[in-house]
Structure 1
Amino acid sequence: MTSQRRAFDRTHTDELAAFVQASPTPYHAVATAAARLEKAGFRQVTEAEPWDGDSGGRYVLRGGAIIAWYVPEGARPQTPYRVIGAHTDSPNLRVKPRPDMGAAGWRQVAVEIYGGPLLNSWLDRDLGLAGRLSLRDGSTRLVDVDRPLLRVAQLAVHLDRGVNDNGLALDRQRHLQPLWGLGHAEDGDLIDFLAAEAGLAADDVAGWDLMTYDVQPPAYLGRDRELLASPRLDNLLSVHACTAALIAAAAHGDGLPYIPVLAAFDHEENGSESDTGAQGPLLGNVLERSVHARGGTFEDRLRALAGTVCVSSDVGHAVHPNYAEKHDPTHHPRANGGPILKTNVNQRYATDGSGRAVFAAACERAGVPFQHFVSSNAMPCGTTIGPITSARHGITTVDVGVPILSMHSARELCGADDPHLLASALYAFLRG
């Protein structure tokens, strides 16, 4: 197949960089995706209101999760779905309920470690602060201090002479609390400061979900700009690709044999067990209500799910040139080699032979090469929303992604061509 059949090109990667920059938190990510969907003609529906069965695009927001779908003209109650799934969250440092602390004349912010970050990657970086503020009237307000505000300062080598020989040891409680100025803990006013940044009075704020992020923007690197360095590639790269693929599929929606669905969940990095995670009921509720909105019954829902296939998209490991022994010797995914198809016989990934065939066919239609990933038998294998989605909803699921380096670092690295290759494959999958 030739590249002329691909739906996306390097412009997609430029747009990914802008998407990441606009999405420092899961809440911002779903707002950014929703804005793109609105521009493409999708309309928001709320869970508390009745839904209709008319054709067209819709989406539901809940916290850091978004479910979007397009009902083609003539879709029946038992029409199967094609689901593309991802997650919006990334490992980071999140603000505690009592945020103000300090020592030795420094003002600090009390943070808790979210997920499994590479802790050393957060040292000596310029950090912003973003998230959502919950107000006393029941509403929420997004806030984003997109400038250097915080810093987790590393101990000088003069005071830790053996660090380069013995390795860096970080105490998760004592060594990772960021600085944000001079003064004393009792001078603390972080929430007052953030309320002002959001144009609110401090008394308006009743709660918060706040997190730090590296403010350095994404950038191309390499002799030929063939690589992309960026925060939160895990897994905003997939959220962006899924959003682009759904919009493209909906733009040519007449005659689609499936109902294309985007499901981007929160809390994957800590197990997905929440009302906005893949373990929760959100996707199942949306699919069931979509069937009923078209006049369907319980039987129609089961028939629709029987023909449904899900592609779970999450980044994976490219072979690292300095640590090749950590990878399976016969499976070496490379940057710009196309998306990876992930397999694990112990069900850490959901891919089986039938799912592999569906994704391989989509890649062939799109003119996109793909690669295989399995973990070394000597290394534990990570997991994704794929097995959860497959088990919870009883649908065929295949795990895919883009190979990257420095996964769970504050700044990750991928091939600059792989994001648009993934999006093209997802678009072909949705088209069926």
Structure 2
Amino acid sequence: MNKQDFNEGLLGFLDASPTPFHATNNMSMMFENAGFIKLNEVDKWELEAGQKYYVTRNDSSIIAFTYPKTDLKYTMVGVHTDSPNLKLKPNSVIKEHGAVKFGVESYGGLLLNPWFDRDLSLAGRVSYLDSNDRLQSALINVQKPIAVIPSLAIHLDDKANKDRTVNKQTDICPILTTNEDFDFDEFIKWQLSNNGINDVKELYANELSFYDTQKAAFVGLRDDFIASARLDNLLSCYTGMLSICSINADKPMLFIASDHEEVGSESTSGAGGSFLENTLHRMFDDYEEYMQMIRASLMISADNAHAIHPNYPSKHDTNHAPYINKGAVIKVNANQRYASNSTTISKFMNTASSLHEPLQNFVTRSDMGCGSTIGPITATRIGIDTIDVGLPTWAMHSIREIAGSDDAHSLYKILIGLRA
């Protein structure tokens, strides 16, 4: 796949995936189109050599794998589906001061200030009871801008450009309407009806998040950049998904996209949960064979990396400062916040070199804290050799992030070429 087609598909995937639920659903459809067979965790699996399979958990995490059976050296790609956002509280509607607004929680370590003065919509999963007293779930995506968080005018806050802070409880509530007759349940039923779901006896719980309706786009004099919400980490989701869809079924490869990385991964559908381990044991039910596969395989933990910011260069170690459009980044940390080691780095570098694809290194400044990824979590839980890589990004965890238009396609080619 050439770079232009790759990036055009990326923009569409970003716009169609406002929540982990939608991202997982879109990846499921992609796998179906690529000939992968859907599995269900509650069924007994009868895997056949030479086939390709996928399975989801919680509608927000997904694993796809080839099954050559005789070749135990798997290339695995691990990413995450979630991004920082504003999530609705259960009793979210607040009517006061002539307006209706929503109470929200901050999910993950998001930059709050960029959420002001944006055209916001709402998406996620809704659970309900149908007329046959069966519990059902459905995805909704309002798409239309329905809310805004207006800034406080500078006339009322003369320190706004000096030391502005944001109170997560009071300052960041999206405002929906001035019509105080607004009924939240009727609003949700209307959204379900728009999706052809009219058999709703009673609404139960929901997991809904706000998102910016501005579309993903090329930016820059020569389309140098891709600007979008949720690049962290849908950029890696798309790259890993296309990689496994682009190989033959006789090559051993596995792709896992986990939820809840931004809040620590400790959930049934997070990398700290059992989803990957359970799946691998069902693929290789003989323990000796399972352990042979684990120790022969390589996990590539793909998450975004902090590109050096031209306006804030002092925030990087000069010798380990990745640039936009200069290639994928190998992430290293002496304290194991990243799982890369000399052996896994060498395997990755060897493939990139053979393909003439550029690579960069990132080590955080020694006087600054270092974030982490699913890499160390997966390496610890599974015991698989792991490398942490990423795509250089500006404005990470903002409502709109920036990445290079060259880098994801370069990583895609490396992932296809890797052998454990």
TM-score range (shorter-chain normalised) is over 0.9
1:225 corresponds to 2:218: no
Give the match for residue 234 of structure 1: 232
> Displacement of 1:121 after TM fit?
0.9
Give the match for residue 4 of structure 1: none
After superposition, what is the alpha-carbon deviation per residue over 1:217-244, rounded to whole angstroms, capped at 9, x for unaligned?
0111111111111110000000000000
After TM superposition, the structure 1 stretch with the greater mean CA deviation from structure 2, 38-47 or 48-57, is 48-57
Give the match for residue 51 of structure 1: 45
**How far apart are the structure 1 equivalents of 2:279 and 2:341?**
26
> Displacement of 1:79 after TM fit?
1.5
1:181 corresponds to 2:170: no
Give the match for residue 172 of structure 1: 168
**How far apart are the structure 1 equivalents of 2:185 and 2:259?**
24
Give the match for residue 158 of structure 1: 155
Give the match for residue 40 of structure 1: 34
Q: Matches of residues 155-304 of structure 1 in structure 2 within 5 Å?
A: 155-164=152-161, 166-184=162-180, 187-199=181-193, 200=197, 203-249=201-247, 252-254=248-250, 256=251, 259-292=252-285, 297-304=286-293
After superposition, what is the alpha-carbon deviation per residue over 1:369-407, rounded to whole angstroms, capped at 9, x for unaligned?
111011011210010000000000001000001000000
**How far apart are the structure 1 equivalents of 2:276 and 2:40?**
14
Q: Matches of residues 379-394 of structure 1 in structure 2 within 5 Å?
A: 379-394=368-383
Where relative contact order (Cα < 8 A, 6+ residues apart) is larger, the structure is 1
Q: Matches of residues 313-328 of structure 1 in structure 2 within 5 Å?
A: 313-328=302-317
* Correspondence for 1:418 among 390, 407, 412: 407
Q: How many residues align?
A: 410
Matched letter for residue 173 of structure 1: Q
Asked if the contact 2:52–2:249 (Cα under 8 Å) also holds between the matched residues in 1, the reply is no
> Displacement of 1:364 after TM fit?
2.1
* Correspondence for 1:11 among 5, 10, 26: 5
* Correspondence for 2:354 among 351, 360, 365: 365
**How far apart are the structure 1 equivalents of 2:84 and 2:137?**
23
After TM superposition, the structure 1 stretch with the greater mean CA deviation from structure 2, 299-308 or 141-150, is 299-308
Asked if the contact 2:244–2:254 (Cα under 8 Å) also holds between the matched residues in 1, the reply is yes
Matched letter for residue 62 of structure 1: R
After superposition, what is the alpha-carbon deviation per residue over 1:180-221, rounded to whole angstroms, capped at 9, x for unaligned?
00134xx34223212211214564321101000001001111
**How far apart are the structure 1 equivalents of 2:202 and 2:143?**
22
* Correspondence for 1:87 among 56, 80, 84: 80
SS in 1 for 2:190: helix
| Closer, same or farther: CA 425–8 of 1 in aligned 2, 3 Å | farther
> Displacement of 1:110 after TM fit?
1.1
Q: Under a length normalisation based on structure 2, what TM-score does the superposition of the two structures give?
A: 0.95
> How large is the Cα RMSD of the aligned pairs?
1.3
- Ranges in structure 1 where 5+ consecutive residues have no aligned partner: 1-6
Give the match for residue 61 of structure 1: 56
> Displacement of 1:424 after TM fit?
1.1
**How far apart are the structure 2 equivalents of 1:235 and 1:43?**
25
Asked if the contact 2:306–2:322 (Cα under 8 Å) also holds between the matched residues in 1, the reply is yes
* Correspondence for 2:67 among 71, 78, 91: 71
| Closer, same or farther: CA 203–159 of 1 in aligned 2, 3 Å | farther
SS in 1 for 2:118: coil
| Closer, same or farther: CA 216–41 of 1 in aligned 2, 3 Å | same
**How far apart are the structure 1 equivalents of 2:216 and 2:239?**
16
> Displacement of 1:298 after TM fit?
1.4
**How far apart are the structure 2 equivalents of 1:99 and 1:362?**
50
Q: Matches of residues 85-164 of structure 1 in structure 2 within 5 Å?
A: 85-136=78-129, 137-164=134-161
| Closer, same or farther: CA 341–8 of 1 in aligned 2, 3 Å | farther
- Ranges in structure 2 where 5+ consecutive residues have no aligned partner: none
> Displacement of 1:8 after TM fit?
4.3
**How far apart are the structure 1 equivalents of 2:219 and 2:315?**
25
**How far apart are the structure 2 equivalents of 1:46 and 1:122?**
38
**How far apart are the structure 2 equivalents of 1:88 and 1:307?**
27
**How far apart are the structure 1 equivalents of 2:375 and 2:185?**
37
**How far apart are the structure 2 equivalents of 1:283 and 1:365?**
30
Matched letter for residue 26 of structure 2: T
Asked if the contact 1:87–1:265 (Cα under 8 Å) also holds between the matched residues in 2, the reply is yes
SS in 1 for 2:350: helix
SS in 2 for 1:150: coil
1:396 corresponds to 2:390: no
After superposition, what is the alpha-carbon deviation per residue over 1:23-82, rounded to whole angstroms, capped at 9, x for unaligned?
00000001001111100100110011111231211111112100110112xx23x72322
**How far apart are the structure 2 equivalents of 1:11 and 1:204?**
44
Q: Under a length normalisation based on structure 1, what TM-score does the superposition of the two structures give?
A: 0.92
**How far apart are the structure 1 equivalents of 2:179 and 2:143?**
23
**How far apart are the structure 2 equivalents of 1:206 and 1:303?**
46
After TM superposition, the structure 1 stretch with the greater mean CA deviation from structure 2, 137-146 or 26-35, is 137-146
**How far apart are the structure 2 equivalents of 1:366 and 1:21?**
31
